[in-house]
Amino acid sequence: MSRTTKTATTRAEQVRQRRNQQSQPRQETKRRGGRSKQQMQSKYYEVNVPPVIVRGNVSTPMRQKTVTRRRQRRQVAIPLRSSGAEIVIPGLPVIHFSARWISGALTIVFFFLFLFMVTSSTFEVEQAEITGMHRVTAEEVEYILDLNGEPVFNLTHNEIQQKLEAAFPELKNIEVAISLPASVSISAEERQPVIAWHAGDQVYWSDKEGVLFEPRGEERDLLVININGEMPFEAIEASLTAETDEAAFQLLAAKPRKVDQKALATAQKLAREVEAGTALAYSQENGLGWVNATGCEVFVGMDTNNMQEKMVVYKAILEALNLDGKTPTQISVANVNAPFYRLEN
């Protein structure tokens, strides 16, 4: 019994020793290189084994380490007359144009086109084409606008129109056309004067709308109004407030000056009641009137509602004074219910 146990023990020890001897070289190899055999094999496959793709439902490519290779240049082989001989020369590179290339090229093209348009004399205005004006000359318009040599891209319709309206209030319906390469066309209508306002040494013309402008040339058959004191201007300050900014104030101030519409209507109505060619008179105190044939000043005020009644009262007063042998120097029927007159001293 003891013998059998000893033999079994000896065999068990032999198997254990044999296992220890087989595992010992593996541990030594790992200690020497710092890597196990499995790691070495994995490294080998990463470098040398190409990827394998399996067709089917599942594909498992093997790991592959990217190896940087030098790109092979494109070459062109030219055969010679001798059979079997050829010359190999480098080929031209193939350029692939992307959207960035196209956008960059367009940017450069448009940049040089812009420089050309700004600096080239082709787009500089030499002279404007002006139509519809008779009293205002083309030379006066060109002097005010100063367009000679100006690039057409710097011009705007509003700017040209505002300059003309400020310099020439007698113009209306101003139209400006700007076209390439360097064309500017201006057309306008001239206001027709109907009244000449004499204020001391200054003379103003006005059209039927009451717009005032400087006389140009000669005009016949104008209604003459002599001013004693200040002109009856239309007040532009009425449309301004304390909150009005400077730009709005300048815009209103740049508009053509006008005659007060009430004074304009009274003058036009009174002109039909007196003899043709008779000059009218105006003062802030007495309103509108005229000087009759005897040198008497007659005033009817600024109210035109009862103009005919005022004329009847005036004629009655004048007739009564003539019967008494009195010579009046002034008759006022501005208030038809309380007329008055002044006699010579």
> Which structure tokens are listed for 5?
């146990």
Q: Evaluate whether residue 178 is within a structural domain.
A: yes
* Of the candidates 333, 284, 341, the residue with the CA atom closest to the CA atom of residue 313: 333
Q: 249 and 179 in one domain? A: no
pLDDT digits (tens, 9 = 90+) for 106-121: 999 988 888 877 778 8
Q: Is residue 47 part of a domain?
A: no
Q: What percentage of the chain exceeds 90 in pLDDT? A: 48
Q: Name beta bridge partners: 208.
A: none
Instruction: Tell which residue, 287, 284, 278, has the closest CA to residue 307.
Output: 287
- Give the pLDDT mean for 234-263: 66
Longest CA span, the chain: 189
Give the Cβ contact number of residue 258 at 10 Å. Answer: 19
- The residue that leads in pLDDT, 44 or 9, is 9
Q: Which of 140-154, 183-197, 234-248, 297-311 has the highest mean pLDDT?
A: 183-197
CA dihedral 201→205→211→213, nearest 10 degrees, is -70
Pairing of strands 150-151, 124-125: antiparallel
Identify the bridge partners of residue 212 per DSSP, sorted by sequence position: 206
Residue 208 shares a structural domain with residue 324: yes
What is the pLDDT confidence band of residue 253, given thresholds at 50, 70 and 90?
Answer: low
Read off the amino acid at residue 235: A
DSSP string, 58-111: ---PPP------PPPPPEEEEE-SSTT-EEEEEPPPPP---HHHHHHHHHHHHH
Q: Among 190, 215, 231, which residue terminates a domain?
A: 190
The reply to whether 245 and 175 lie within a common domain is no
Pick from 190, 223, 238: which residue ends a domain?
Answer: 190
Least confident range of 115-119, 123-127, 325-329: 115-119
For residue 165, the domain's CATH number is 3.10.20.310
Question: Which pLDDT value is given to residue 248?
Answer: 52
Has residue 264 been placed in a domain? yes
Whether 168 and 182 share a structural domain: yes
Does residue 72 fall inside a structural domain? no
User: Both 305 and 329 in a single domain?
Assistant: yes
CA–CA gap between residue 167 and residue 138 (Å, rounded): 13
What range defines the domain where residue 321 resides? Answer: 195-343
Average pLDDT, the chain: 80
Token couple for 243: 């909150």
Q: Which two tokens stand for residue 74?
A: 């494109």
In Å, what is the CA distance from 145 to each residue of 34, 141, 304? Answer: 92, 6, 43
Residues 239 and 327 in one domain: yes
- In this structure, is residue 1 part of a structural domain? no
Q: Does the pLDDT of residue 340 top 90, yes or no?
A: yes
The pLDDT-based confidence of 254 (bands split at 50, 70, 90) is low
Any domain includes 93: no
Q: Residue 25 and residue 263: Cα distance in Å, rounded? A: 128
Residue 99 included in any domain: no
271 — pLDDT class (breaks 50, 70, 90): very high
User: Prior bond to 79 cis, omega within 30?
Assistant: no
Rg of the chain in Å (alpha carbons):
54
Amino acid at 113: L
- Which pLDDT score is estimated for 70? 60
Using DSSP's 3-state secondary structure scheme, residue 126 falls into: coil
Half-sphere exposure of 175 (CA within 13 A, CB side): 7
Mean pLDDT score, 10-18 = 77
The string of pLDDT tens digits covering residues 173-206 is: 999 999 988 899 999 999 999 999 999 899 999 9
User: Is residue 338 domain-shared with residue 202, that is, in the same domain?
Assistant: yes
Residue 127 Cα distances to 139, 141, 162, 167, 184, angstroms: 10, 11, 19, 19, 8
Q: What is the mean pLDDT of residues 109-137?
A: 86
pLDDT above 70 covers a percentage of the chain that reads 74
Residue that wins the pLDDT comparison between 338 and 76:
338
The average pLDDT across 280-306 equals 92
Same domain, yes or no, for 263 and 318?
yes
Clarify whether residues 138 and 257 are in a common domain: no
- With both helix axes pointing from N to C terminus, report the angle between 2-33 and 37-48 in degrees, rounded to the nearest 10: 40
What's residue 174's pLDDT? Answer: 95
| Mean pLDDT confidence for 234-260 | 63
Domain's final residue, options 159, 190, 221: 190
User: Quick one: average pLDDT of 204-222?
Assistant: 92
Q: In this structure, is residue 44 part of a structural domain? A: no
The CATH number given to whatever domain includes residue 313 is 3.40.50
Q: Which of 58-62, 95-99, 296-300, 316-320 has the lowest mean pLDDT?
A: 58-62
Predicted local distance difference test score (pLDDT) of residue 1:
46
As for how many domains the chain has, the answer is: 2
204 and 292 inside one domain: yes
Q: What is the pLDDT of residues 46-97, one digit of tens each?
A: 545 455 555 555 555 555 555 555 656 677 777 777 666 777 777 677 677 7
* Contacts made by residues 229-232, CB under 8 angstroms, sequence distance 24+: 229/283, 229/284, 229/285, 230/199, 230/284, 231/197, 231/199, 231/204, 231/259, 232/259, 232/260, 232/263, 232/282, 232/284
What's the pLDDT at 88?
A: 75
Residue 322 and residue 216 in one domain = yes
C-alpha to C-alpha distances, 276 to 223, 224, 300, 301, 330, nearest whole angstrom:
9, 11, 18, 20, 21
pLDDT at 245 over 60: no
Q: Given pLDDT bands bounded at 50, 70 and 90, which one contains residue 18?
A: confident
Query: 230 and 135 in one domain?
Result: no
pLDDT confidence of residue 267: 94
